[in-house]
Structure 1
């Protein structure tokens, strides 16, 4: 037989608990009546009078559903309800006396009011005491309840709303095994205050002393808007004391209008690099995305899947995830269906290089908004196989754009990369030419159609990026492989990049290339050291850092703009407009035809030389790295490029 209770058993248990609570509330009313009788030195009362009074207060408690309250989680609304029930009891008793029902000849309306008020106070007190015992607020009960479970003494950094929510979360969930000893906050006006009975012990500069004096075993940083340098500073201060540091999510993780909630977790590399929260034009984005069919190529990738999560919050008519990686599509499909069960969602297993299949998918859904994120991105592989970059990143972009325009897509957003600026590799050239295709398409698109490219740098934690690689190497015990001690890169988190892609792509002007504010570049060596220390290890002793040399096609540093190219746009404070450099004076059709002819060359060496030659003619700022495709330094120049008219 099953050990689970039946429905009838559950109902009986609920009724039993409510009856017990109702009797308890009646007893509190009786106690209040007797106490007021003593205070007024009038002990003359009859059993019938007391019975009527208890019946009145129990009826009021039942009508206001006070018996349904969960004492251990009683909140402000519950306490208001108890006082309203007490007031209702007074009004009923007073009304009865007004109509001639004598509760007692020696008692007037003031006595009834005081008895009702005292009844409400007793009801409130029993609920507050129960909650205080449950949350460990009463020392004796707290020590008894926690004898079997060791409790960490926690210090919360940040005495604002987030810190208050974290303290409440720790009180409510004893299984987390932590009791808040105090707050620290740099705000002068908060010094010496108590928040929910918890003192503000000082500023962040006093953290080491506070930890020592109060035997702190856990520090929780509750400043969601703190920039990366603040997180890094506090991490270093706490780490020097040997105490565990945890944090809560930053505001940059929010999707759409999702409210912030506390989630205590270990400090991550994303926290150390976090920047100011991004404020999007929610109203404008909602107007565009609400009830729109949105198609995302590369829907299973890091950026594509994050765009899907964020677009879903605006209630589109449908999201179509198009890609060729069936496992990654299955993962994001499962997540979205669980998070947004009412969202119309479709999957298109399709390679953007298959023109006919691509047109079939677009004809089926006729998307109004398209985010094109599908691309080959692994830099060393594309130096070895430039043909794949041409087929996927260049011709693939053209085919997606043609398919979108063919079904009347209103907005087309092409996701590009900072490697397209003064490129030294095949990836950068292919993405620059993809930008050129989109810009040329804007010149001939129907009125009202918007075609935009958005350019940004490395996405923190994306597949194949440095952070997952470092994590894997740390798990193996090292070494961490860094190409060069001077190498720097711009980094964004996946949510941050995706939010700005939405803002720039949907609200930007057609034919433009927008660059996202990437903040300051980060040394890869510093990133490696931070990840080692976040793992509780010493980069000098526990994990070796090994320098491997620059890979084919890599730069020591990336650039976001060409010379004299940058100016801030009106789209967003973190979005800039890039005034694209001119490619060779040829039609897009002309150089696409030339690239197609080059791919048809059977001799590999000759084909690679022709590709190099075409790239250098099409992108004047391209300076191929000697250890990449630039190894073919002598180009035969056998294929002529058609010239643009005029």
Structure 2
């Protein structure tokens, strides 16, 4: 106790329970010193009872608040297995409590606080008799006040209000209860005694209100501390304090697993503000918060930013060792719960470092609407997306031609739901494009008007190890389908090619270049020798597709899921990348513009370093790269050397001359072709080599006829 001039004192006290310290400082008058000491003793005992009850079972699951940054934060300081066991036992009791049991505990607390509020009111008045004596004189009427308080509280529904919802829904009802109880207390005292100054009743009502509200606030913080100890939540930053970010913060308030601690925004007008109870910081302070607040994850809530801008932010965050999760546009989501559930890992297109091209199909839809379209390889990555987007153009019939039974079943099941209720006929056909009889039968039976030829073996190492089946499928399959298309008057034939066809160093790329030469020959012969022929032959060439089967990103993700390491063939390797959606959109656009014989090339942007891509995929999964500079990292990157037939960099054209088309992302390449006699010669030689199983003979055919082909070192040494 500290004595000051004028007879005033400050009484310092602290109430302790289970590591919880509640400091108190009360300004008192000399005449009330004894009463205050008594008051503190009684209040301390009551607080201990309340806190003991709290720790034994009052709670509500699923809160989302940052206790360490909010006033009144209570932290359990006991550590070790015994403390954890104690907390776990408490939580088991909480989970077993029924809602009625919790309501009973809330009601009992409110009734216990009523005489305490009376005692406080008496102590704060300069009365001729002691506060405890006055409280004793109130005992005859106190039961009636308690009964009234219980009835009004139950009628208002206060005991049933959950702690997390109390602030929004029940403070006003608590004020009503305090007013009713104070009024009843004043009336009963006026009739039955004791006589009290009018100010006592007002002070009593105010204190009762503050005690009920304050107790619930304290209960919430204590229970949150208990749950936080037993069930830690992931501390996250929300990058973006705009509408989407604030909506996300609101939704996360009731999320069990995520605990937002702050906003980050590059808008200086928002920095320094507090939104949804969370401070807004500049991006430059992220590293500081990561260390101080143990943040491991960042939620991107800025769907309006461009893809390159988001990619830059993601790379900066991943450099800090943070897991990054992106949020789609809030307009795409329904409800707060959906907003939280839609949080996803960073999608593959984030690694493009450019905006994905979004082509409207309206301009080319009429080229496929009302037509019979066949997609070969319909169950593959490209073929399945072609089938989906063709359906959006409303063809009369879509024929799904696929060699794999499982792949055909999967795409047919998916598309069957889409065509339900429409007049589009969906036809699944199980078969190989190398079977001339079946190909001719399918084209004739269904009256196919457009062929999109995506069927091919595309994995370089597999085709390199099995060159003859790869050549048979990719070369002879294309020839078989193209000849049948010309025979039955198909309007358009579009070959899906690859950048690996340009100066190939592997059998797969060479087979795609041979397929291109066949289509170029068919186009030339059709235009020159058959003026009345209907079929327009064309091809579209592009690079790697993000997220397709066997591509690097799914491979890296699988390797990460196994704990690593990630394998990269050479640190100098670069590849062109495009999303499946934009590639197919541009293919359909190019096919609609085709006049015959064109080699369409898609604008793929700048090539991407595979080593850098591997680092980004690791960091986007929430891990760190383990290397010589960071031996404590999570996932290592192993350099295994170039595989047979693999190139350091791919090319999109044999020449540098590109012709612009009507679409800015589609170009036409001028490339040399072979004559009809030359094409027939290499097909005859290749067929003979395949027929007798002569792999070296097949490679010699490729070496002679495919421009720019360089045999891999491995096969050069073994030949």
* TM-score in terms of structure 1 length: 0.65
Q: CA deviation at 1:313?
A: 2.4
2:452 corresponds to: 371
1:579 corresponds to: 670
Q: CA deviation at 1:158?
A: 4.3
1:333 corresponds to: 412
Q: Is residue 348–residue 547 contact of structure 2 (8 Å, CA) maintained in 1?
A: no
Question: Which protein shows a greater Rg?
Answer: 2
Matching of residues 216-235 of structure 1 within 5 Å? 219-224=298-303, 226=305, 229-235=308-314
Q: Please say if 1:308 is aligned against 2:387.
A: yes
Alignment size in residue pairs: 486
Q: Please say if 1:545 is aligned against 2:626.
A: no
Q: Is residue 323–residue 623 contact of structure 2 (8 Å, CA) maintained in 1?
A: no
Q: Please say if 1:482 is aligned against 2:568.
A: yes
1:516 corresponds to: 602
* Distance verdict in 2 for CA 1:419–1:215, change over 3 Å: closer
Q: Please say if 1:599 is aligned against 2:686.
A: no
1:622 corresponds to: 709
Q: Is residue 576–residue 650 contact of structure 2 (8 Å, CA) maintained in 1?
A: yes
Superposed CA offset, 1:359-396 (max 9, x none): 12222222222211101112233233332232111110
* Distance verdict in 2 for CA 1:476–1:217, change over 3 Å: closer
Q: Is residue 380–residue 407 contact of structure 2 (8 Å, CA) maintained in 1?
A: yes
In structure 1, the gaps of 5 or more residues are 1-129, 254-259, 634-646
Q: Please say if 1:395 is aligned against 2:476.
A: yes
In structure 2, the gaps of 5 or more residues are 1-160, 172-215, 333-338
* Distance verdict in 2 for CA 1:356–1:250, change over 3 Å: farther
Q: Is residue 166–residue 262 contact of structure 1 (8 Å, CA) maintained in 2?
A: no
2:369 corresponds to: 290
Matching of residues 449-468 of structure 1 within 5 Å? 449-468=535-554
Q: Please say if 1:611 is aligned against 2:698.
A: yes
Of stretches 197-206 and 287-296 in structure 1, the one that deviates more from structure 2 is 197-206
Q: Partners of 1:507 and 1:449 in 2: how far apart?
A: 14
Q: Partners of 1:189 and 1:295 in 2: how far apart?
A: 56
2:105 corresponds to: none
1:266 corresponds to: 345
Matching of residues 182-197 of structure 1 within 5 Å? 184-186=264-266
Superposed CA offset, 1:471-508 (max 9, x none): 22222222322212212222222223222222222334
Q: CA deviation at 1:570?
A: 2.2
Superposed CA offset, 1:616-642 (max 9, x none): 3322322222223x4576xxxxxxxxx
Q: CA deviation at 1:283?
A: 1.9
Q: Partners of 2:605 and 2:637 in 1: how far apart?
A: 26
1:532 corresponds to: 618
Superposed CA offset, 1:244-263 (max 9, x none): 53103599x9xxxxxx9993
Q: Partners of 2:597 and 2:648 in 1: how far apart?
A: 31
Q: Partners of 1:490 and 1:428 in 2: how far apart?
A: 15
Q: Is residue 184–residue 201 contact of structure 1 (8 Å, CA) maintained in 2?
A: yes
Q: Please say if 1:469 is aligned against 2:561.
A: no
Secondary structure at 1:485's aligned position in 2? coil
Q: CA deviation at 1:188?
A: 6.8
Q: Partners of 1:448 and 1:160 in 2: how far apart?
A: 56
Q: Partners of 2:246 and 2:583 in 1: how far apart?
A: 30
Q: Partners of 2:250 and 2:412 in 1: how far apart?
A: 35
Superposed CA offset, 1:231-289 (max 9, x none): 343234434666553103599x9xxxxxx999321224442335313231432222123
2:75 corresponds to: none
2:679 corresponds to: 588
Q: Partners of 1:614 and 1:597 in 2: how far apart?
A: 10
Q: Is residue 439–residue 511 contact of structure 1 (8 Å, CA) maintained in 2?
A: yes
2:398 corresponds to: 319
2:579 corresponds to: 493
Q: Is residue 584–residue 618 contact of structure 1 (8 Å, CA) maintained in 2?
A: no
* Distance verdict in 2 for CA 1:167–1:341, change over 3 Å: farther
Q: Is residue 657–residue 669 contact of structure 2 (8 Å, CA) maintained in 1?
A: yes
Q: Partners of 1:190 and 1:554 in 2: how far apart?
A: 51
* Distance verdict in 2 for CA 1:138–1:320, change over 3 Å: farther
* Distance verdict in 2 for CA 1:138–1:296, change over 3 Å: farther
* TM-score in terms of structure 2 length: 0.59
Q: CA deviation at 1:529?
A: 2.2
* Distance verdict in 2 for CA 1:234–1:593, change over 3 Å: same
Choose the corresponding residue for 1:279, options 324, 334, 358.
Answer: 358
Secondary structure at 2:520's aligned position in 1? helix
1:380 corresponds to: 461
Q: Is residue 351–residue 613 contact of structure 2 (8 Å, CA) maintained in 1?
A: no
Q: Is residue 457–residue 470 contact of structure 2 (8 Å, CA) maintained in 1?
A: yes
Secondary structure at 1:279's aligned position in 2? coil
1:157 corresponds to: 239
Secondary structure at 1:612's aligned position in 2? helix
Q: Partners of 2:609 and 2:689 in 1: how far apart?
A: 39
Q: Is residue 584–residue 620 contact of structure 1 (8 Å, CA) maintained in 2?
A: no
Q: Partners of 2:468 and 2:292 in 1: how far apart?
A: 65
Q: Partners of 2:406 and 2:696 in 1: how far apart?
A: 37
Choose the corresponding residue for 1:352, options 433, 436, 440.
Answer: 433
Secondary structure at 1:422's aligned position in 2? coil
